Amino acid sequence: MSASGAQANNDKVEQALHDAGWRVCAPHERDLKPDATAVRAPHPGLNGVCLYLLHVDRDLSGLVVAGAETADPHELLAEANDLAAPLATQYLRRTWQERPLPFRYGTNGRVWCFLNALDAEHLDGTPSADAPQGGARSRYVFAPARPATVARWKRQAVQYPDTPSLRARLRWLPRVHLDPRRQLYDAQRRAIEGLEGSLAADHHRALIQMATGAGKTYTVVQASHRLLKHAGAHRVLFLVDRYNLGEQAYLEYRDFQPADSRKPLHEEFPLKHLSSGRSGLADSDKIVITTIQRLWCMLTDRTPPPPDSEEAQNFEGSGTAGLGRRLPKVHYSAALPPDSFDFIVIDECHRSIYGAWRPVLEYFDAHIVGLTATPIGPTFAFFENNLVSQYTYEEAVADEVNVDYDVYRISTRITRDGSEIPAVTETQAPDGTIEKINTVVAQVDRVTREQHWHQQAEDDEYTAAELNARVESTSQIRTVIETFRDRLFTEIFPPEANPDTGEIVHQRTVVPKTLIFAATNRHADAIVAEVRRAWNAGNKFCLKINSETSQPAKAIKDFRNASETRIAVTVDMIATGTDIPALECLVFMRDVRTWSYFEQMKGRGARIIKPEDLRKVTEDALCKDRFVIVDTVGVTEHAMVEARPLVQDDLRELPSLERLLKLCAQGAPLSIADVSTLAGRLSRLGQRLDEQQLARIEGCAGGRKLTDLVTDLVRASDPDRLAKERVSAAEEPEEAPETDKSGPAADGEAAVAVVLAQALRPFVEGEALREALLDAARRRWIKIDHLSQDGGVIAEGVTDVMRAERTVEDWRRYMTEQQDKFAALRIAFQDRQPLSEVQAQIDELLSMVSPPQQQWTGQKLWKAYVDLGIARTRRRRNAGLPELLSVLRCELGLDGGGFRPYRDTVDLRFQEWLARQETAGVTFTEEQRTWLKRVANVVATSATVSVEALDRHAVCRAEGGWSRFRTVFAGGTRTPDELINELDRELGA
């Protein structure tokens, strides 16, 4: 590396140190003032490598080894590790604690690698017994820590000499939870323990999956308190992707009262909800709540829109507002340095927060914790497959943390088959003559609501898939809403009757809190109008709550708490995250093909609520023991895909795009102005595309990004560039035949035409690309079909039997697809392989099916077999392994081709085993037989038995457990241990 290159690289290192607050100086410039200094020194043995000795509070505390920009930062850090002890000895009188320098960096000027030796050592330098093998672990950081941060690390190390760093203290968190007055669910406790186990193992990222409504936020509030109080964490950041979700989190933190403190959490550890990107953080702020977009504004010194404004809703709701299609660029920010947070919690982390915004997250030197009910592939990838806790919706229902749901279907002719708008309508006059009337329909601008009337030129047949995307049917919306109204208190929430007398004992008349999911903003407007008309109700009865709603936070609050507001219509704003416990009904008037998004939407109704709180807003409700999904589009019937939804309601008008693309299709030349206009139209279109539309367009363009195509058009129509092309073409020596009379001017225009043609080639040659662009552009205008009359209503509840039929059918299809693996499972059963091996095969078979296709659990399969009458028992829920084994044995034909309860299988094996003992001349006393029956009962309920199981099983434990069993069977032909092992092998699995 040249001297100039080395100096330039050192300049980068020193600039990074300076930005972080270090005064960089030569040895002779160092003084003993208390300001932090990074003293430059040449490496004693390696040319081109420079040392920076870090002094804080007059102590030599750390070092930086800086090498060439091509050097490996890990190798430079290894050099820092080798020098830490010699340098401490060399400058012993100045060295902090007279120990090897603990804070070590290796950098090539672009990448920084950091190691804190205190992570694996006591303050005195002796190794910590609980430290990871090989000592402290290094990590990449965006920049060196600030001197104030190093000073804080030093103070904490002196305060806790046996656990002198945050990572060391994470290995010694107390096991006692801090809120015995509000009992934690087992799932919440497991989540906290799983997270702390992950942190103790020094995993930088952890994922917590908990069903919607199961208390994810409260779990993290508990965990945050423990990390701040017992681990000495400096600050916790709680990230949301919408301001109103931040408000919910703020209230959860603010209302938390630690059991061991007289102060609420926010008084002990100050809480801040950032509502402005320019509001800074005080060192005393310990819990910070904000959106990732506002965090980015703080890092880039931008001013975000005011909270609750329409601009703010677009800014946060679109996920990547202000970025275009680029990832955010992040530079060092003195206002928000990389060491600002020790922990970052990402709420609803299944969304794009870790995609487009990844550079913002990775800017900080912090552990990242994700919360979601619906993790998908990219979620697992970002969190390095470190799932520390899992709690499914089915488990939450079984634990009565969530409520179960029923499905009620409403299907109409237009919903199923679409319809047709005729160009001409025939009517018969009183005199019998046939009159033909040209059809005039309205086209409505989704954005401005402006209405234009157009004469229908030809018949327009539209499919069910085009409903509410291209055409809106007034009759279809009205039919669905009126059917919902008419069946609400007869079939959806039917009257309760005395089972003996048939007398009605409770009849509901107040519309339950209902949330309707619409396809677009325009669709939502139409639904609101029809709801108010159907109930003859005023504006407060039904609200639209969406990104364009004035004061959406107030609207959500009114819907949650006001008794006069019964129905809300939304597209996506309260589809995820928002907590409205009194919701009893979800109406899907839009289809959803994404599993994770559907689960989030479904979760709005799953939350529990106390009966007295429910009656405050719905006076005639007794309790919330279920919610109802009213499916008007078949969303509960088709398979889901696993993809991240990005919902954008409306697309901007592109009036000249169709004309320009038609010229491209014809091969007609476009003028410079036309090319420039095409670029502008496509740029505007690109800002409003969702991911699926963008993926389709880019796929049709051979993988090229739309932004690249637009850039080519912009460059091709740039006047300065075209002027240069003309001059260049005119100056080139002519090689044309003598008969060519083109001349310099014509040559220049020909050169311009070549430039334009090159940029237009993808649009000229790509028919599929043109169609994809036009399809996206046309979606701003929606045609109103006011002629078609809907009918053919099919309205029915989805019964348990209907669900069970689908589950069993899907399961049997899956068994056929995986017949080789199920054949191996059959052999495992027949060979009486140990339960652990059988269960491993079962777990593998269940895990191979991703949630979008199906979500099979032992409980779900068992309930389906009971509902269909295959499993002959009344026990429908809370099934365990024995029930699952009986289902599998039935399907594998191991029990005579029919269903046999697992207990019957165990009893049969037990009688066969006793018969073999008698044949062999082995006899048992009455007490021994009683104990053998108890052991068989343990197997019937657990599918296995062990020495420990006798002490866990309630009946066995009451009779003395393993100790008594051992006494009763002492002196026999087999030891008690051998007998237990034999019974486990003969009776189990």
Distance CA 211, CA 209 (A): 7
Alpha carbon distance 777, 770 (integer Å): 11
Helix-strand-coil percent breakdown of the chain, rounded to 5?
A: 45, 15, 40
Helix or strand run (H / E) with residue 208: strand 205-210
Residue 830 has a pLDDT of: 81
Q: What are phi and psi of 293, to 5 degrees?
A: -65, -40
Rounded Cα distance between 784 and 751, Å, is: 48
Q: What are residue 402's DSSP bridge partners?
A: 607
* Integer CA distances (angstroms), 147 to 10, 54, 150, 166, 422, in order: 20, 9, 5, 17, 76
Which residue has tokens 């020790």?
342
Distance of alpha carbon 120 from alpha carbon 129, whole angstroms: 8
- Cβ pair 213, 396 in contact under 8 A: yes
Torsion of the alpha carbons at 574, 578, 584 and 586, rounded to the nearest 10: 30
**Is residue 877 within 8 Å of 863, Cβ to Cβ?**
yes
739: Cβ contacts below 8 Å, ≥ 6 apart? none
Contact 788, 401 (CB under 8 A): no
- Beta pairing class for 794-798 and 404-411: antiparallel
Consecutive 10-residue averages of pLDDT for the chain (989 residues): 59 94 88 81 82 94 94 95 95 92 95 96 92 90 97 96 96 72 78 94 93 87 93 94 82 85 88 72 91 85 69 55 58 93 90 70 94 82 89 79 88 91 80 79 73 82 84 92 94 84 88 93 91 95 82 85 94 74 94 80 88 94 91 82 34 55 85 82 72 79 85 80 70 46 60 85 88 75 81 79 79 83 84 79 71 60 79 60 82 79 87 89 89 89 84 83 89 86 84
Measured CA to CA, the distance from residue 337 to residue 22 in angstroms comes to 13
Q: How far apart (Å, rounded) are the C-alpha atoms in residues 670 and 133?
A: 68
pLDDT digits (tens, 9 = 90+) for 190-228: 899 999 999 999 999 999 999 888 888 999 999 999 999
H/E stretch holding 444? strand 440-445
What is the pLDDT, as a whole number, of residue 856? 64
> Residue 235 is encoded by which pair of tokens?
């600050």
Could you read off the pLDDT of 800-847 as tens digits, one per residue? 777 778 788 888 888 888 888 888 888 888 877 877 788 788 877 776
Mapping DSSP to helix (H, G, I), strand (E, B) and coil, where does residue 974 land?
Answer: coil
Residue pLDDT, tens place only, 59-112: 999 999 999 988 999 999 999 999 999 999 999 989 999 999 999 999 999 999
**Which two structure tokens, joined as six digits, stand for 345?**
């919690």
Angle at 406 (CA atoms; ends 401, 410), nearest 5 degrees: 145
Amino acid 449 reads: R
> 3 in the Ramachandran plot: left (φ > 0), alpha (ψ -120 to 50) or beta?
alpha
Residue type, 937: N
Q: What is the pLDDT of residue 444?
A: 79
Q: 968: how many CB neighbours lie within 10 A of its CB?
A: 18
Give the three-class secondary structure for 591. Answer: coil
Residue-level pLDDT at 187: 87
Three-state SS at 894: coil
Query: Quick check: pTM over 0.85?
Result: no
